[in-house]
Structure 1
Amino acid sequence: MIKSMTGFGRGEHGGKLKHVVVEIKSVNHRYNEVLVKMPRQYNLLEDAVRRYILSRVSRGRIEVFMKVDEAVTKPRDVQVDKELALAYYKALKELAGITETFLDVGVIQLAQLPNVLKVEEEEEDLEIIWQDMLPALSQAADALMSMREKEGEKLHLDLLERLKDIKALHGKLCEKSPKVVILYREKLQSRLKELLDDVKIDENRLTMEVALFADRSSINEELVRMESHLSQFAGILQENNPVGRKLDFLLQELNREINTIGSKANDLEITQYVVEVKSELEKMREQVQNIE
């Protein structure tokens, strides 16, 4: 079943160390592009996030937004740089003596001086953090794929309906095509009689002229190729693999054939069918641009 490239998914998980919220949105794109936005301190895990998304999505522009909060209070230790604190105190005492001022400094003032106190946190284990991230990422990806599949079902039904309409028009073109030469002969013969009145018409010349017209205006080859493309298009719609590029290529080929038919067939009714087919193909092309 075909999938759309448009979708959204959200996942949330409270792990051993982190509470993670992931949102993923995707839009149509010619290739497969993954953009990850996550807290800077976890940038080393960005490639892992990108690889996971690429394993789930074959095509589209995918944006991953990840929010990471503490799930538990991390153990912290405050260290005192005794030597630095003492050095600060001696320097202040010396400065007080030089300036002949009273030294009035307390422990709070000393603690506020640069680097006297240092908060040490336990180094984070990125492997554990990744295990906290993965369930939320997987949940968001599942929701994204579900939406893409639902959108794909709608696109599939719409394309089948339009394909049915084009096949019906193709049938009308096949039915009308042989009649064009017959009508041309009748019109040419009638016109010659009007112009030449009592002069006998040379049947050999008339047959030759009709044959030349038939050769110039023949659309049989285009109709055969068009039927083949339509059949391939219907078959590809049933595949489970990404098919957007294949369908886009076939639509280009169908456009080429119908344009040739329009330029060769010297008939108003055929021209009307051509316009209708081109209109349906354009609508299909817009839909196919959003298929994975």
Structure 2
Amino acid sequence: MMYSMTGFGRNQTNFAGMDISVEINSVNRRNLEISVSLPREWQLLERDIQALLRGAFARGKLHVSIQAQPAAAESGFHWDEAGLDSSLRRLGEVAKRQGIDWPPGADALVRLAALNKVDVLLPGSDEISVPLMECVKLAAGELKDMRGTEGAALESDLKDRLSALRGGLTTIGEESSSTVPRYREILFQRLGQANLELDLNDERVLREIAIFADKCDISEEQTRLESHFDQFAECLAAGSPIGRKLEFILQEINREFNTIGSKSNNVEISRHVIEAKNEVERIREQIQNIE
């Protein structure tokens, strides 16, 4: 199966009163790059997360975002009750000495509670390891499914474009077969216009035609292109990771079309070469996103 390098995966779990979410997004890159953003308390798990993803993906830039917050039932205001009681008692003593009315109102209590606010403690990395890694695994699976769906669409598109290149090469071959006879005809027309009466079998004429035929012969390029087309198709069938190999094959395909264009002494062949090179460029853009 062929995979693209762009996609998104998400999974969420609950553990020890915490809602934990894992999001992974992926874009194209020549190599595999992984960055992980997670709570400081779980930094020790970053290496395990990267190892899991390296086992699932070959190319692309992956960013993993892991967040944890109290579950709905646990959310809200958290404070140090013992500290709050101590603060109220001491403030009461001060108020009594200063002759200030006591107890305080609701607004003062809220302010005191805010001063005694405590952060919710996250479970340790050892405790969270198993559920968190399972959550990462499921998010990575969703990402891989999305990359596979896009990869299938890319594969279908590339097969159509490869078929177009094969058709273009066939047309170029047909045009090439008439190039030498057309040149021979033009040559004799020009000789006739110059009042040079030469026999069709004159050695000088035959040599001129032979030199021309050799210069514009594209049979070797046609053979190599057919081979490159077959390799490209085999590569598509093999499945990912194939992006780099496709890039190399496409480079060789473009090289052969360039050679045909430089040898061409035929307007129609030149036109078909330009069309083929445009198609090659479209393919190049597509395979930039293949794993």
**Smaller-chain TM-score bracket:** 0.7 to 0.9
Deviation at 1:17, TM superposition (A): 6.0
Deviation at 1:274, TM superposition (A): 0.1
Alignment deviations for residues 142-192 of structure 1 (CA, whole Å, 9 cap, x no partner):
111111011011101111111111111111122222221121111111111
Alignment deviations for residues 170-229 of structure 1 (CA, whole Å, 9 cap, x no partner):
1112222222112111111111111125x3357110110111111111111111100000
* Conservation of the 8 A alpha-carbon contact between 1:25 and 1:62: yes
Letter in structure 2 aligned against 1:39: P
Letter in structure 2 aligned against 1:63: H
| Cα 1:122/1:6, change in 2 over 3 Å | closer
Runs of 4 or more, structure 1, over 3 Å off, are 70-73, 76-80, 119-125, 199-202
Residue in structure 1 matched with residue 3 of structure 2 by the alignment: 3
The runs of 5 or more residues in structure 1 that have no matched partner are: 81-101, 105-116
TM-score for both structures, normalised by structure 1: 0.81
Kindly indicate whether residue 267 of structure 2 is the aligned counterpart of residue 268 of structure 1: yes
Deviation at 1:69, TM superposition (A): 2.5
For 1:79 and 1:53, the matched residues in 2 are separated by: 45
Residue in structure 2 matched with residue 213 of structure 1 by the alignment: 212
Deviation at 1:4, TM superposition (A): 0.6
TM-score for both structures, normalised by structure 2: 0.81
Letter in structure 2 aligned against 1:200: L
For 1:126 and 1:8, the matched residues in 2 are separated by: 25
Residue in structure 2 matched with residue 163 of structure 1 by the alignment: 162
Residue in structure 2 matched with residue 252 of structure 1 by the alignment: 251
Letter in structure 1 aligned against 2:240: N
Residue in structure 2 matched with residue 132 of structure 1 by the alignment: 131
Deviation at 1:129, TM superposition (A): 0.7
For 1:289 and 1:144, the matched residues in 2 are separated by: 18
Q: CA RMSD in A?
A: 3.2
SS in structure 2 at match of 1:242: coil
For 1:288 and 1:279, the matched residues in 2 are separated by: 15
| 1:48-63 to 2 correspondences below 5 Å | 48-63=48-63
Kindly indicate whether residue 235 of structure 2 is the aligned counterpart of residue 236 of structure 1: yes
Deviation at 1:121, TM superposition (A): 9.5
SS in structure 1 at match of 2:226: helix
SS in structure 2 at match of 1:152: helix
Letter in structure 1 aligned against 2:252: E
| 1:79-228 to 2 correspondences below 5 Å | 124-197=123-196, 199-201=197-199, 203-228=202-227
| Cα 1:254/1:135, change in 2 over 3 Å | same
Deviation at 1:135, TM superposition (A): 2.4
For 1:240 and 1:270, the matched residues in 2 are separated by: 34
Bigger mean CA deviation after superposition, 223-232 or 138-147: 138-147
* Conservation of the 8 A alpha-carbon contact between 1:16 and 1:132: no
For 1:120 and 1:15, the matched residues in 2 are separated by: 17
For 2:169 and 2:50, the matched residues in 1 are separated by: 45
Seq. identity, %: 39
* Conservation of the 8 A alpha-carbon contact between 1:233 and 1:247: yes
* Conservation of the 8 A alpha-carbon contact between 2:2 and 2:240: yes
* Conservation of the 8 A alpha-carbon contact between 2:41 and 2:124: no
Letter in structure 1 aligned against 2:64: V
For 1:10 and 1:38, the matched residues in 2 are separated by: 14
* Conservation of the 8 A alpha-carbon contact between 1:18 and 1:129: no
For 2:143 and 2:237, the matched residues in 1 are separated by: 21
Alignment deviations for residues 87-129 of structure 1 (CA, whole Å, 9 cap, x no partner):
xxxxxxxxxxxxxxx999xxxxxxxxxxxx9x89989442221
Size of the alignment, in residue pairs? 270
SS in structure 1 at match of 2:238: coil
SS in structure 1 at match of 2:206: helix
Deviation at 1:79, TM superposition (A): 9.1
Kindly indicate whether residue 28 of structure 2 is the aligned counterpart of residue 28 of structure 1: yes
The runs of 5 or more residues in structure 2 that have no matched partner are: 84-96, 100-115
SS in structure 1 at match of 2:194: helix
For 1:122 and 1:69, the matched residues in 2 are separated by: 10
Deviation at 1:139, TM superposition (A): 1.8
